A and B are shown apart, each in its own frame.
Chain A
Amino acid sequence: MKKLKFHPCGNFKEEYEKELTIFETDFGRLWMWIGIFILFLIIPFICKPYSLYIINNIGIAAIAAIGLNLLIGYTGQISLGHGAFFGVGAYAAAILATSLKFPFWLSVPSAGVIAALVGMVFGIPSARLKHLYLLIATLAGQFIIQYLFVQWESLTRGAEGISLPRATFFGLHIKGDRPFFYVIFICFVIMTWIAVNLVRSRYGRAFIAIRDNDRAAEGMGIPLFRYKLLSFAISSFYAGVAGGLSAYYIGSITPEPFTLFLSIEFIAMIIIGGLGSIPGSIFGTIFIMVLNEVLSGATEFFMNLSAFTGVALTIAPLREFVFGLAIVLFIIFEPRGLAEVWRIIRSSFRLWPFSY
């Protein structure tokens, strides 16, 4: 039997391979398998349908957030258009499924590809623009795509929306929260696995070099434009797949959800989770979704107490206030996000009792 590895008490890496490894010890790998086991065999059977619905939404949003983190956290290109790319994925899946009769397993990846193409189009300005200017260009993309969702009626049926056929997978009908849980989280695990491995590949290293200093990266022989477009394409692909899944999960789509606010929510997820960290994007997604649930739960609680119905109506806008406050507090007090908090907790356990 292989000897189990433990954490060394310092940073002793003697080979490049050791630095590239995902799990420093075998315990990490073990914990991952335990986590996957709990995720797939225990959670779907102990959760109530409503919590399963929320968990599914977390899974969908986490896929998009991981994609966005590849773009913002790793490549350093800020995009305010991810809500729209998510919408492009949802619409692409819906249109492919209704007019071209694509099956479920084909339409979701094609939705990702279409979103990737759209993302590349709106990534073209990144050839000449950086920072603020690029941010504003993607903001314009968000508004233009939103306009097309409503006005291009021959394709998107405008405000009326499109209802999707039931998802089937090799003759198996996927309906209800539990089967969808498996579909969403199998996608989630695959996409996370791809992302984790992507960032330690040649491409991921090029992305990080571009983020740290794009001129220097160019000087070292990284074709900037090609890699920036690649980053836009990959992250929009993630958003598109997530959008396609959510379209099937909800069953019908309208243009309303895919607004600038959705884009901002995605960015909030990765900021709160931690930029440039894949687990961070997942933590941030969970944080934002749970925060949303807690706030709407609080509103509902006051609604049901008849004496406080008036109070409930007035505190509804405070949800937005709390959402903003969470972002502001995280940025001021813990800009590296929940991933950093997690790291601190872990290392304090590891170094106990001599944590100096």
Chain B
Amino acid sequence: MEFFLQLFIQGLSVGFLYALAALGFVIIFKSSSVLNLAHGEIMAIGAFIFLIFSSWLKLPIPIAFLLTLAGSFALGFIIERLFLRPLIGEALIYVIMLTVGMAAMFKGLMLFIFGGNLFSYPDFLPKYLSIQWGAIHIPPVYTASLMIGLIFLAIFGLFFKYSSQGIYMRSVADNQTAALSLGVHVRRVFALSWAIAALVCAMSGIILGVMNGINVHEISHMGLKVFPVVILGGLESIAGAIIGGIIIGLLETFTGGYISTALREVVPYIVLVLILLVKPYGLFGLVEIERV
């Protein structure tokens, strides 16, 4: 029973992390319907920026954190301007392959600069975040990831629902031409959504770095885990990303705990294929209606 609870808590916090990573993905998809395969690499870049600020330059943690967020926000703008903008109106496969090319570039650059070693942050999380409850021990990282995850998800939920920029984004996602004719600055919306997505990616990259250490290969591999999550939840839905993240996180840790660690890596994808066969647009995704 204790083992079960321990796994449950671990799965929950891993799930929140997935949800957070999926959030950046959903933001990009919602506004520009670009499937970003460089997601994991952008996460890794965020984690490394934080590493530079916090342990190499030895800045205080809150300042380092804010600087990282600002840096990744700028990175998102640059990515959109340099790579994505020339491709507006091109076929889907080109946009996807462009993000694949971007992923290879970023990964090569990071390996060039930092190498394939495992880095770790200085221990900065306060001890009172660690929870001891009977025999169950919850390390501070999990509590922190749960809290940050909840805060960010709430902020973005509200942002999309009430702020004018959020409404612009939704309108662009819904119908680009109609939004354009109603005076929405579509290019700015794209740029902003990439910037926000990069910021969220950096967040989840940092949390992942605190949890497992920072390694280029590992974090960028995590970017692919996002796909089962977003498909389960539906590509356009933030609530879906949260629920999908938690389901996949629990599924993974339980498979890893009770069956085998090797199966843990593929279980999300097996679930994904099954979901796609039964419910192609996920739990909360919009069903596309097409006319010729």
In the docked arrangement, what's the CA distance between A242 and B285, Å? 38
In the docked arrangement, what's the CA distance between A147 and B259, Å? 15
Instruction: Verify B96–A151 contact, CB threshold 8 A.
Output: no
Pick the residue among B105, B107, B228 that contacts A328 (CB under 8 A).
B105
Please give the distance in Å from B282's CB to the nearest CB on chain A. 9
Determine if A267 is an interface residue (Cβ-Cβ < 8 Å). yes
Which chain A residue shows the least CB distance to B285? Answer: A133
Contacts of B97 in A (CB 8 A): 267-268, 271, 327, 331
The A333-349 residues at the B interface (CB cut-off 8 A) are 335
Instruction: Verify B101–A317 contact, CB threshold 8 A.
Output: no
Determine if B222 is an interface residue (Cβ-Cβ < 8 Å). no
Known: A129-B280, A219-B292. A144 touches B104 (CB 8 A): no
Instruction: Verify A137–B276 contact, CB threshold 8 A.
Output: yes
Instruction: Verify A318–B94 contact, CB threshold 8 A.
Output: no
Contacts of B109 in A (CB 8 A): 317, 321
Determine if A18 is an interface residue (Cβ-Cβ < 8 Å). no
Pick the residue among B33, B276, B291 that contacts A129 (CB under 8 A).
B276
Contacts of A72 in B (CB 8 A): 93
Q: How large is the interface on B (under 10, 10 to 19, 20 to 34, 35 or more residues)?
A: 35 or more
Instruction: Verify A140–B235 contact, CB threshold 8 A.
Output: no
Please give the distance in Å from B255's CB to the nearest CB on chain A. 12
Known: A139-B227, A216-B292, A324-B108. A132 touches B235 (CB 8 A): yes
Instruction: Verify A331–B98 contact, CB threshold 8 A.
Output: yes
Contacts of B280 in A (CB 8 A): 125, 128-129, 133
In the docked arrangement, what's the CA distance between A317 and B108, Å? 5
Chain A 95-138 interface mask (CB, 8 Å, partner B; 1/0) = 00000000000000000000000000000110011011101110
In the docked arrangement, what's the CA distance between A270 and B235, Å? 28
Instruction: Verify A328–B276 contact, CB threshold 8 A.
Output: no
Determine if B277 is an interface residue (Cβ-Cβ < 8 Å). yes
Determine if B111 is an interface residue (Cβ-Cβ < 8 Å). yes
Pick the residue among B93, B111, B263, B273 that contacts A137 (CB under 8 A).
B273
Which chain A residue shows the least CB distance to B278? Answer: A128
Contacts of B228 in A (CB 8 A): 140
In the docked arrangement, what's the CA distance between A275 and B100, Å? 16
In the docked arrangement, what's the CA distance between A27 and B136, Å? 79
In the docked arrangement, what's the CA distance between A267 and B104, Å? 13
Q: Can you list 28 A-B contacts (CB < 8 A)? A: A132-B35, A132-B92, A135-B96, A136-B35, A136-B227, A136-B276, A137-B273, A139-B227, A139-B269, A140-B228, A140-B270, A141-B273, A143-B269, A144-B266, A151-B263, A213-B292, A264-B100, A275-B93, A317-B107, A318-B108, A318-B112, A321-B108, A324-B100, A324-B106, A328-B83, A328-B98, A331-B87, A332-B83
A-B CB proximity, top 6 nearest: A324-B104, A321-B108, A327-B101, A317-B111, A324-B105, A320-B108
